[in-house]
Chains A and B, each alone.
Chain A
Amino acid sequence: MEGGFYTLQDFMTYTKGITYLIMIVSLFSITGFWLFLTDRDTDTQSPEHHKTEHH
C-alpha cells in the first residue's frame, strides 16, 4: 500500500478495517483451537469427578 494514503483518516480506515477482519477470523480460529485443545479432556477425569459434573 506504499503511497496509497494521503491522510491519517485513510490510513486508520484501512488498518482498522484489516484489524477488525483479523479479529473476526481470530474469534473463530481460537474457538476452534480451544476445541482442538480440550476435546480429549474428559478421558483424564476420574469417574467420581465425571459424576459430580453431570449432577
Chain B
Amino acid sequence: MSEKTLSVNKTLLTPFNIFAGIVLVIGFFITVLRFTKGLGAVTNLSDNNPWGLWIGFDLLCGVSLAAGGFVTSAAVYIFGMKRYHSAVRPAILTGFLGYALVVFALNYDVGRPWRLPYPFIIQQGTTSLLFEVGACVALYLTVLFIEFTPAVLEWLGLKKARNLVVRLTMLLTIFGVVLSTLHQSSLGALYLIAPSKLHPLWYSTYLPVYFFVSSIIAGLSMVLFESTLSHHYFEDKMDETHLKENTGVTLGFGKAASLVLAGYFTIKIVGLAISNNWHYLTTGYGAWFLLELLGFVALPCFLYAVGVRDKNVKLIRWTALLTVLGIVLNRLNISLIAFNWQLPSSERYFPHWMEIMVSVFIVVVGILVFRFIVTKMPILYEHPDYKGNH
C-alpha cells in the first residue's frame, strides 16, 4: 500500500466519520423498517400521543433553529447592516438544510408521506393552521433554495444564472421574512387547540408570539453556534473578510440576542400574570418551568450582555450553545414533557429508541451535507470571480 493511500485512509477514519458511518447504517435499517412495517414498528406513538419526538425535535426545533436564515438576511439586506454580510451565506445554508431536513423528517412522521402535497390540492379550506404551516414551510424551503443557489452557480461557473438570482435577493429576503413570521408563529398557534392537554404554565394565548420571538433568538444563537463550529473545523476555508468580520458578527448578534431574550423574558412573565398562573410555580412542573425561564432565558440574556460589554467572544459562543439548548428544551416541553401532563404515567409518551435514532440519523445527515457543501462551495469565502459583487 502506498504512502498516499495510507494517509487518505488515515484522514477518512476520524472518530466523527466512524460515528457517522454507524449512525447512517442503523438509520438505513430503521428507515427500511419504518416504510415496510409502518409507524407502529418503530415508534411509541398512540392516539393519545400522535405527535412525538419527530414533531417535537425534528420539526419544532428544526424550524426554530433554522430561523438564522431570515434573521441574518433581513439584518443585512433590509436593515442595511452590511458589516454582517459574511454571515449571510452560512446562515442561509444552515436555514436551507434545517428546513430540508424538517421536510425529510416529516416523511417518516406522517402515516402516508406521499400525501404531503395534498394540502395544496385536496383540503377542507384555507383557515387551518396546519395548512398555513404546510404552505409556508413548502414556500420558504423554495425561497431558501433559490437564496442558496448563487453559491452553487458560482461553484459550477454559471455566471449569467448566478447574476440573475442575485438580482432577486431583496425580493427573496422580503418573502423569507413574511413566510417565516407566518409559520414560526403558526407552529405555536397549533397548540392553542389543546388548552386541556398542555400544562397551564406553558399554555398561553400568546403561544404564537412566544414561538416567533423565540425563533429570532434561536436563529441568532444558531448562527453564532454554527460560526463557532465552522471556525473550529473549517478555518482553512475562510477568507480574510470572513475572519476579520467574525468578531463584529459575534458581538452584534450577541447584543441582539441579549435584547430579544430580555423582551422574551418579559412577555413570558406577562403571560403568567394574564392567566394568573403564579400558584403553579410552587409545583414540580413549576420548578421545571422556572429552570427553563431562569436557566435558559434569563441566564443567557445576562451572559450575552456581559460577553458583549467585555468583548468576550468565547463567553458569547458558549452562551449561544446554552441558548440553543434552551430553545430545544422549550419546544420539547411544549410538545412532549408538559403535554398530556394530566395523564397517568403509564399513558404518557416516551420515544422509542428507534425514534431517537432516526432523529440522530437526520442530524448526522445534516452535518455531513453541511460539511460537503462548505468544503466544495464558496460559503465561508467569496469566490474570486465575484469579490465585492453582491
Contact = CB atoms under 8 A, between A and B. Distances in A.
B258 A15 contact: no
Interface string A25-39: 010001001101111
Interface in B264-282: 266, 269-270, 273-276, 278-279
A18 interface: yes
A23 B255 CA distance: 22
Contacts of B309: 36-37, 39-40
A19 B309 CA distance: 31
Contact of A30 (B266, B273, B275, B308): B266
B21 interface: no
B259 interface: yes
B50 interface: no
Contacts, number: 44
Interface in B232-277: 251, 255, 258-259, 262-263, 266, 269-270, 273-276
A11 B276 contact: yes
B270 A19 contact: yes
Contacts of B263: 30
A22 interface: yes
Contacts of B262: 30, 33
B276 A15 contact: yes
B305 A22 contact: no
Contacts of B276: 1, 11, 14-15, 18
B305 A33 contact: yes
A52 interface: no
A31 B11 CA distance: 53
A42 interface: no
Nearest to B266: A26
B273 A37 contact: no
A7 interface: no
- The contact size tier of chain B is 10 to 19
A15 B255 contact: no
B275 A15 contact: yes
Nearest to A14: B276
A48 interface: no
B311 A22 contact: no
A37 B255 CA distance: 7
A22 B259 contact: no
Nearest to B308: A37
A9 interface: no
B274 A15 contact: yes
A33 B263 CA distance: 11
Contacts of B308: 37
B255 A18 contact: no
Nearest to B269: A22
A23 B163 CA distance: 49
Nearest to A5: B276
B250 to A, nearest CB: 12
A2 interface: yes
A19 B273 contact: yes
Given A2-B279, A30-B262, A30-B263, A36 B305 contact: yes
Given A26-B270, A33-B262, 17 more contacts: A15-B275, A15-B276, A19-B274, A22-B269, A22-B270, A26-B269, A30-B266, A33-B259, A33-B305, A36-B309, A37-B258, A37-B259, A37-B305, A37-B308, A37-B309, A38-B255, A40-B309
28 contacts: A1-B276, A1-B279, A11-B276, A15-B273, A15-B275, A15-B276, A16-B274, A18-B273, A19-B270, A22-B269, A22-B270, A26-B269, A30-B262, A30-B266, A33-B262, A33-B305, A34-B259, A36-B309, A37-B255, A37-B258, A37-B259, A37-B305, A37-B309, A38-B255, A39-B309, A40-B309, A44-B251, A44-B311
CB-based closest 5 A-B pairs: A18-B273, A26-B266, A19-B273, A37-B305, A15-B276
